[in-house]
Structure 1
């Protein structure tokens, strides 16, 4: 965890949020890219501020883009200052749907979650009951054990749980979409734009156990659970469990989707040009070195990788 004394000042954080808004909602011009690079180099804390704030990108993508854009446009129509604009975004982050992702970049305590990971980081834990837990990139959880139950709260991101079947207490998992329950399940949960991905490898898992619409999820099933609670089986172009072994394993995945998946494990922005977005990617890639993954793409596909900065990378046609 970064030392608070070496953390970026609020000025750098505000500027980084400003750049995130520009890059998220506007199509950056060459001039904008040059200005962004100049800003990164203009202060020693700017790259760190950008790395921390760029984790907001996935969360902003979860907001309705038109609504977010209208909100920002409204503040401009009222002639509010840029500083007020940033305060508005910060308030949305802390009080609205951005949740956990905004806490650290905006200078709030990172200990609000029992366990968390940064972009590109994965972590293995063991609960006091002997259950094994893994956090994927940019994730956060809380754990609460009592004499009646075991509880894992997914605050953000993705987690795998291998519940200890020798403990008779039910294991409850709370998410933004709803609650799951198990006694001996090995399962994986991932928040995404559509709600929650649920994959079960072993045992039985009950979706919405206290609801009349409770559903039993068997070993081998993978479900997409919508925000409204509906669910359906899905087939994926990637192995959802791959990251637990430190790999990204895909079959015939469009390069645009692959880049979006790989971007989860890197700080900053990773863009894929539209003209190569439909090229297909297959293989198993080691997540420990995302730079090497990008280089491997250039050997198997007619693409080139351009590093504008360490935190701004694009995949273009060769």
Structure 2
């Protein structure tokens, strides 16, 4: 006699959280099925789903969540095949990543108990010299740097941030928060990210994205990769649409703007002026002969005029105020090539 599968409404009853081990096993079965690892995979899945109501609830919810993840990352099928053909350690690590995406850390499945009815969308922008902090519906905080534009979209399934220009710092909500722990996705021109309990900085550059992780981990889901790439605590990566360009240890300067500072250690003067210009209302022109100079120190970004004046005392440069909004930097009489 064949035991029928539980009714779908029964599977979605919010009686208790689904154990992480059950959710992880559901993901493993889903990957086996997607890659056709064995001819009887679907029979094994049906048998497992009939064993316990938690199994059926886990299967239904993770199947929906994984479909959502697949839409976000077209390489998901290739990821499954790669995982099955990899070592046991690699397989366990990748399955754990996917479980974190669907389940979170020790707290039951993230998928909403109700179908999605509405999607709310808004644009947020900061002007030169401005910063803005937003609290998301899942309790996370997003801080926008100067000259930053984001598109924020949220519904009952997840929260999406599209970084259109500039730089943002994100602090995800703690596990003890009472707000719903909806998954968070950040999209730039080069790829898509999701945090795993973390504090991190995302910067949209001209042709690349730079991600700095101060705490926790961030997963690069799509972009120049064929499987999710972990960015651990204390690391910075820069990537284009086609490749991972750089990975280095984090530096205090990487998110110093959140503390109102610009930190430089032997930074080329032109790079320093470019960084300062993000917070300066007007134009700063640098004479090319000064490109060999370097800057060190900590500078407050809320008074760029004072920063420029201080440079004229520490470096062989002089300032010329062409107009209220145009400052030009030239070599002083003490400058030596």
Q: CA deviation at 1:114?
A: 2.3
Asked if residue 135 in structure 1 is aligned to residue 144 in structure 2, the reply is: yes
Q: Is this contact kept in 2: 1:238–1:248, CA < 8 A? A: no
What are the equivalent positions in structure 2 for 1:60-71 lying under 5 Å apart?
none
What whole-Å deviation, never above 9, does each CA across 1:157-216 have from its counterpart, x for those lacking one? 100111114353221111111110123121111111341110011111100259633210
Within the candidate set 180, 184, 188, 2:193 is matched to 180
Instruction: Tell me the TM-score normalised to structure 2 length.
Output: 0.58
Q: Is this contact kept in 1: 2:256–2:262, CA < 8 A? A: yes
Say if 1:227 and 1:269 are closer, same or farther in 2 by CA, change over 3 A.
farther
Q: Is this contact kept in 2: 1:113–1:140, CA < 8 A? A: no
What are the equivalent positions in structure 2 for 1:294-305 lying under 5 Å apart?
294-305=308-319
What are the equivalent positions in structure 2 for 1:221-232 lying under 5 Å apart?
221-232=235-246
Say if 1:196 and 1:315 are closer, same or farther in 2 by CA, change over 3 A.
same
Q: Is this contact kept in 1: 2:129–2:278, CA < 8 A? A: yes
Q: Distance in 1 between matches of 2:226 and 2:313?
A: 53
> What is the DSSP-based 3-state SS (H/G/I as helix, E as strand, rest coil) of the residue aligned with 2:227?
coil
CA RMSD of aligned residues (A): 2.1
Q: Distance in 1 between matches of 2:282 and 2:250?
A: 26
> What is the DSSP-based 3-state SS (H/G/I as helix, E as strand, rest coil) of the residue aligned with 2:203?
strand
Map of 1:21 onto structure 2: none
Q: CA deviation at 1:228?
A: 2.0
Map of 1:281 onto structure 2: 295
Q: CA deviation at 1:222?
A: 0.4
Say if 1:192 and 1:289 are closer, same or farther in 2 by CA, change over 3 A.
same
Q: Distance in 1 between matches of 2:328 and 2:276?
A: 12
Map of 1:121 onto structure 2: 130
Say if 1:253 and 1:237 are closer, same or farther in 2 by CA, change over 3 A.
farther
Asked if residue 190 in structure 1 is aligned to residue 199 in structure 2, the reply is: no
Asked if residue 199 in structure 1 is aligned to residue 212 in structure 2, the reply is: yes
Map of 2:154 onto structure 1: 145
Q: Distance in 2 between matches of 1:161 and 1:255?
A: 29
Q: Is this contact kept in 2: 1:263–1:270, CA < 8 A? A: yes
Q: CA deviation at 1:128?
A: 2.2
Q: Is this contact kept in 2: 1:237–1:253, CA < 8 A? A: no
> What is the DSSP-based 3-state SS (H/G/I as helix, E as strand, rest coil) of the residue aligned with 2:147?
coil
Say if 1:204 and 1:237 are closer, same or farther in 2 by CA, change over 3 A.
closer
Question: Which deviates more, 165-174 or 253-262?
Answer: 165-174
Q: Distance in 1 between matches of 2:174 and 2:251?
A: 31
Q: Is this contact kept in 1: 2:122–2:153, CA < 8 A? A: no
> What is the DSSP-based 3-state SS (H/G/I as helix, E as strand, rest coil) of the residue aligned with 1:299?
helix
Say if 1:188 and 1:235 are closer, same or farther in 2 by CA, change over 3 A.
same
Q: CA deviation at 1:146?
A: 2.1
Within the candidate set 175, 183, 189, 1:170 is matched to 183
Instruction: Tell me the TM-score normalised to structure 1 length.
Output: 0.61
The gaps in structure 1 that reach 5 residues or longer are 1-111
Q: Distance in 2 between matches of 1:215 and 1:237?
A: 21
Q: Distance in 2 between matches of 1:134 and 1:261?
A: 18
Q: CA deviation at 1:125?
A: 1.7
The gaps in structure 2 that reach 5 residues or longer are 1-120, 333-337
Say if 1:235 and 1:300 are closer, same or farther in 2 by CA, change over 3 A.
farther
Q: Distance in 2 between matches of 1:275 and 1:171?
A: 46
Say if 1:250 and 1:311 are closer, same or farther in 2 by CA, change over 3 A.
same
Q: Distance in 1 between matches of 2:292 and 2:126?
A: 31
